[in-house]
Amino acid sequence: MNFNPSISSNLGQQAYQILREMIITLQFKPGQTIYETEIANMLNISRTPTRDAFQLLISEGLVEVLPQRTKRIVSIAESKVKESVFVRLSLENSAFKLVAGNWKDSDRYAQAEKQIQRILDEQRNASAEQDVKQFLQLDEAFHTTILQLAGNETLLSVVYQMRGHLNRFRFLAMKELKQTGHLIEEHEKLLAYLKGREKNKIERLLEQHIGNVGPEIERLCKAFPDYFLD
């Protein structure tokens, strides 16, 4: 894998994005030890941007530092998943209802709806092909497109940071529990409720769409005990 410095001078940020995605999609397993030298060789970059990328992952809580400065992918913590779900649900519930209240016939909302419909079409294709990685990326694009309509950059930044922990769990749940079909149906309903300015229905559906993770955690902890903290 080679970077082109002419595209971006910030190789550390590029490396961070690649490593973050590999952690979220479980290409690096929870609890796995990783080494800066090996990562630098894999990405064909120097140690300095590799170290910068590790610092970002450490600050996000996806990588931890052990004695002798060994680095390890943080295990999935049930408490962290539930905390992230609570924060995400609170933020997205407020933002989605704000967007619903502002939804109107205008070029901005027409373009957003067009983009969301394209995402839904691509999600159906990803689901049919059982491409969980692509499906998760499109799931993020669906929610981000709506959150952008709220016009709050701080919100977008906070949601992005906290999704790192949650999305590892969501990727595993999508892959093992075959959830993609009903998630598309819920996305279609959310779009309809936004257009209809139906705030109460949005709140109830988001609770189901985001908040109901208890049974999933129990099943996945039993199936993948090495991925989760005791």
- pLDDT tens digit sequence for 175-204: 887 778 889 999 999 999 999 999 999 999
Closest CA to 112 of 143, 79, 74, 153: 143
The pTM of the whole model exceeds 0.85: yes
- pLDDT tens digit sequence for 19-76: 999 999 999 999 999 999 999 999 999 999 999 999 999 999 999 999 888 899 999 9
Closest CA to 120 of 92, 145, 140, 142: 142
- pLDDT tens digit sequence for 145-162: 999 999 999 999 888 888
Count CA within 13 A, CB hemisphere, residue 64: 9
Superfamily of domain 78-227: GntR ligand-binding domain-like (1.20.120.530)
The domain locations on the chain are 11-73, 78-227
Task: Supply the CATH classification number for the domain 11-73.
Answer: 1.10.10.10
